[in-house]
Structure 1
Amino acid sequence: MAQHHYTRIYVHGEWVEPISSSTIDVINPATLEPVGAVPSVELADTDLAVSAARSAFDSWASMPLSERIAVLRRATELLEGSVESMAHAISLEMGAPAGFARTEHVALPITIMNNYLADLSGDPGLPHSSIENSLIVREPVGVVAAITPWNFPLYQLVIKVVPALLAGCTVVAKPSELTPLSAYLFTDILDRAGLPDGVFNLVPGKGSVVGAALASHPDIDLVSFTGSTRAGIAVATAAASTVKRVALELGGKSACLVLPGSDLVAAVDATISSCFWNAGQTCSALTRLLVPRELHDEAVTLAARTASTVGADMGPLISSEQFDVVQNLIAAGVAEGAQLVTGGLGRPSDHTRGHFARPTVFGNVSPKMQIAQEEIFGPVLVVIPYDNIDDAIEIANDSPYGLSGAVWGPDTESALSAARRIRTGQVDINGGPFNPRAPFGGTKMSGIGRELGPFGLDEFLELKSIQFPL
């Protein structure tokens, strides 16, 4: 029997048998073996979950912030005590190496939960302000649909659910059908933490069914979605008929711009690390390396050397479908005439099964090539030469996406000047580390809205102005 076989869903504070009888098998992409199964609910169960969240909203929204914080603090403590079991579940459902699952897939969400608790503790309520004779208050937006992807299953759930609950919203969560096991463990943690009935509800199932139903549901006030741009467009389209708020965190094709005089070795190493992190399945991955033309050959040599060391620690791609996407785009790069520096088609020699892809670096890539424009979502880096700074900025911005980016410069001032010209939601300068309290989100087709920190809390709040007599 599979290690994690679930037959129930979580609605109105109880684990209940779903009306739907369909199930989804969870397959470990590293071994191709079944490791679990969950229900695949349909419209009737989705409606019950939304109804439960709606009925619980008024009491949860009116609860003092300190009491909501207390519940989430208990949940954080329970997650801290469940690191190994949670990391194991994530390793099973997406093939992540055990150490990476602990430090990145579990430890980072715990940090984010503690950050929210620390930032809000001691506050009597949600932030408010005054403008002349108006009191500006922030109130919870209402019932939230949290639709999460498979590439960071716990992290994506936490950065939506925790600020939504702290804001006073109630939640219906729909995890990816590929990685639902960690969502079940997190739901059990919320239940044991004493979350009131109906405040959080879990409905596993297919995005085309449950996700679409949540996005168009008249009793959902905000849908927070993370996934592909194609799916995000479908969510926004479905949500339009009910004029609900939509927060979208979508794809990316982020560039790392290396300015003349920079530390090329450090820049290449950092870019490879970002590009191949989580087997390249990261929306903010730096997948385009822009270097001065005279440094191109040195850069690709360094990239090939670094790729050979990073690749040994990578996990698999999530599915056969994703493996095929990556293979097809690698083939397209070769067909377009890009220089295949290392990697290429097929699996690494040390993997005879599983959806493992070869760490791949292309050189002499033209900005208009398919591999320079499309999000590959696998361990594939393209190196693009440029002639001058204006040319480099134009290449960096020549993308339908605008999620992340990086600049390496000989000094902070020149790097900052270039960073300001790149149209993207965030830019790292000279290896600046990820800040989980800073806003995360994109421009253009990378999405709408911001997550993390106080900006992530704002996504789940509505502004109201109350006027007093002059």
Structure 2
Amino acid sequence: MTATHAHLAAPGHWIDGGFTEDVHARIEVVSPVTGSVVATVPSGTAADVDRAVAAARAALPGWAGTPTSTRAKTLARLAQELTARNEQIAQAITAEIGAPIGFARMAQAGLPAAVAAATAELEPSVEWAERAGDSLIVREPVGVVGAITPWNFPLQQTMTKIAPALLAGNTIVFKPAELAPLTAAILAGAIAAAGIPAGVFNVVYGSGAVVGEAIAAHPGIDMLSFTGSTAVGKRVSVLAAQNVKRVGLELGGKSANIILDGADLEHAVAETLVNSWSNSGQACGAWTRLLVPADRHDEIVTRLAEAAAAYTVGDPADESVRLGPLASQKQWERVNAYIEQGIAEGATLAYGGPGRIPGLESGAYIRPTIFANVAPDSTIAQEEIFGPVLSVIPYTTEDEAIEIANSTIYGLNAAVFGAPEDALRVAHRLQVGQVYLNGAGLNMLAPFGGYKQSGNGREFGRHGVEEFTEVKAIQLGETAPAAGQGPL
């Protein structure tokens, strides 16, 4: 471990408001830039999960009984604490997954604080109690939430779970990805500084095979919220079914981006590359399939290749770099194999390609790649690559474009560029959880989640908070109190 990153090592699991001391094994965090170890974190066991669950259950009555307005104020303080730690968070994420430092500050560190603040502001809009005839319908905490998150947006994916879960009155046992665990201790410190009581938030580091499975199967956990691959999502669902616990899944994607006749091509091309290659394409919602009118295919591919030249690849510590390395050598091998397969299956390589980049051979750097004339049923058009690989697919009619867009097992994101009325018409026919029209951005008040094998449940906004609540109907007599009166 280098002296530069020694402070990133977590001394122990964070359980009941403090770091544990009896750590017998540790996980090395390896830089994708140099291949060297930059920090270590504990390697947990099922017994560590048991202790974290016990702490969360003990803290549950007090936190669940705290007024929602108070919980919202605490979340607002958490947003401030995260903002104060922006540089520390950004440096940690750059060290562990190679995110360019500018992007790490803006998105990887900036968005989690924004999520906490936006969630706090939702408190008045949630129907915590309402009348329906002679019944009082109340929303109550689910209980102890097990949260398991991926490595690509380590803190952002965490906050989309714990912010609404905390507002709803739940307590949490959290397992960060072993590839990118360094922000978990920073988050724990921010939570303590914000005044969230001990035991409400707990962290157990470790592998998915040990800690992840223990969380998914634990009878003391009432809900599992998981973000990751579809394959692992299926596995944790099976484990969670043993206790019939609620499961929220945000899984893979193969998002289609449709350019219609009449679209602003310059704008569409620029937005396509940003949303395909941000975070080196390591995003479940990346727009990895570009569907274009067949008679404009060559023109659009030329425009894409010209715009792609601005996407410099290099050391993520360099402020001018737009794409850092992939998160690991294993990830590099996976993405490179897909690029080679695309060539083997007959797609036209229009930009980039396989192999190491001259001068950057020692890191997990890969060329951002564009394929043209991609067959809709080819491997690169159907499977989630999770790298900066864009497939351009020609279509001849609007109906064909919609059929191609809906042809994968996934249904997370989609985008449409065209005249507003045309884009909206197409959006209604797409089998996805969200559609971005003409470059519209993320709205944290709107629900985010998938159809089909992209998962279930929703994050963000009021719907995201409601995911972490149980609904109870209380049948009242004639002297019933008005809606809204009660412990919440």
**TM-score between both structures, scaled by the size of structure 1:** 0.97
Alignment partners' CA distance in 1, 2:75 and 2:420: 39
Q: Could you say which residue in structure 1 is the equivalent of 2:282?
A: 281
1:309 partner SS: coil
User: Contact between 1:163 and 1:456, CA under 8 Å: does it hold in 2?
Assistant: yes
Following superposition, the deviation at residue 98 of structure 1 comes to 1.1
Q: Could you say which residue in structure 1 is the equivalent of 2:75?
A: 72
Following superposition, the deviation at residue 192 of structure 1 comes to 2.2
Q: Could you say which residue in structure 1 is the equivalent of 2:200?
A: 199
Alignment of 1:191-340 (within 5 A): 191-312=192-313, 313-340=322-349
Letter in 2 for 1:33: S
Letter in 2 for 1:16: T
Alignment partners' CA distance in 2, 1:415 and 1:348: 38
Q: Could you say which residue in structure 2 is the equivalent of 1:454?
A: 462
Alignment partners' CA distance in 1, 2:120 and 2:106: 20
Alignment partners' CA distance in 1, 2:284 and 2:16: 33
Q: Could you say which residue in structure 1 is the equivalent of 2:41?
A: 38
Q: Could you say which residue in structure 2 is the equivalent of 1:413?
A: 421
Following superposition, the deviation at residue 236 of structure 1 comes to 0.5
User: Contact between 1:273 and 1:310, CA under 8 Å: does it hold in 2?
Assistant: no
User: Contact between 2:78 and 2:116, CA under 8 Å: does it hold in 1?
Assistant: no
Following superposition, the deviation at residue 5 of structure 1 comes to 2.4
1:468 to 476, 479, 483: 476
Alignment partners' CA distance in 2, 1:390 and 1:64: 51
1:367 to 361, 376, 380: 376
Alignment partners' CA distance in 1, 2:291 and 2:260: 9
Following superposition, the deviation at residue 106 of structure 1 comes to 1.1
Alignment partners' CA distance in 2, 1:64 and 1:261: 52
1:17 has 2:17 as partner: no
C-alpha distance after superposition, 1:12-54 (max 9, x if no partner):
1121124x51110111112222110000101111111011111
Q: Could you say which residue in structure 1 is the equivalent of 2:484?
A: none
1:310 partner SS: coil
Alignment partners' CA distance in 1, 2:339 and 2:57: 47
Following superposition, the deviation at residue 96 of structure 1 comes to 1.0
Following superposition, the deviation at residue 251 of structure 1 comes to 0.4
Alignment partners' CA distance in 1, 2:306 and 2:229: 31
Q: Could you say which residue in structure 1 is the equivalent of 2:159?
A: 158
Q: Could you say which residue in structure 1 is the equivalent of 2:122?
A: 119
Q: Could you say which residue in structure 2 is the equivalent of 1:384?
A: 393
Following superposition, the deviation at residue 126 of structure 1 comes to 5.8
Alignment partners' CA distance in 2, 1:175 and 1:271: 30
Alignment partners' CA distance in 2, 1:144 and 1:187: 16
Alignment partners' CA distance in 2, 1:164 and 1:469: 32
- Are the structure 2 counterparts of residues 126 and 17 from structure 1 closer, same or farther at C-alpha, using a change threshold of 3 Å? farther
1:99 has 2:102 as partner: yes
Alignment partners' CA distance in 2, 1:360 and 1:131: 55
User: Contact between 2:181 and 2:205, CA under 8 Å: does it hold in 1?
Assistant: yes
Alignment partners' CA distance in 2, 1:164 and 1:284: 23
Letter in 1 for 2:473: S
Letter in 2 for 1:412: P
Q: Could you say which residue in structure 2 is the equivalent of 1:345?
A: 354
Q: Could you say which residue in structure 2 is the equivalent of 1:6?
A: 10
Letter in 2 for 1:17: E
- Are the structure 2 counterparts of residues 280 and 65 from structure 1 closer, same or farther at C-alpha, using a change threshold of 3 Å? same
Q: Could you say which residue in structure 2 is the equivalent of 1:82?
A: 85
Alignment partners' CA distance in 2, 1:76 and 1:300: 42
Q: More deviation in 169-178 or 64-73? A: 64-73
Following superposition, the deviation at residue 350 of structure 1 comes to 4.3
Letter in 1 for 2:282: Q
User: Contact between 1:226 and 1:232, CA under 8 Å: does it hold in 2?
Assistant: yes
User: Contact between 2:275 and 2:286, CA under 8 Å: does it hold in 1?
Assistant: yes
Alignment partners' CA distance in 1, 2:111 and 2:357: 29
C-alpha distance after superposition, 1:352-411 (max 9, x if no partner):
3211110100001000100000000000000000011111100000010000000111x2
User: Contact between 1:126 and 1:167, CA under 8 Å: does it hold in 2?
Assistant: no
Q: More deviation in 259-268 or 348-357? A: 348-357
Letter in 2 for 1:388: T
User: Contact between 1:9 and 1:15, CA under 8 Å: does it hold in 2?
Assistant: yes
CA root-mean-square deviation: 1.3
Alignment partners' CA distance in 2, 1:244 and 1:158: 21
User: Contact between 2:43 and 2:205, CA under 8 Å: does it hold in 1?
Assistant: yes
Letter in 2 for 1:227: G
User: Contact between 2:263 and 2:417, CA under 8 Å: does it hold in 1?
Assistant: yes
1:424 to 420, 424, 432: 432
1:367 partner SS: coil
Unaligned stretches of 5+ residues in structure 1: none
**TM-score between both structures, scaled by the size of structure 2:** 0.93
Following superposition, the deviation at residue 311 of structure 1 comes to 3.9
User: Contact between 2:11 and 2:19, CA under 8 Å: does it hold in 1?
Assistant: no
Following superposition, the deviation at residue 150 of structure 1 comes to 0.4
Alignment partners' CA distance in 1, 2:311 and 2:286: 15
Q: Could you say which residue in structure 1 is the equivalent of 2:318?
A: none
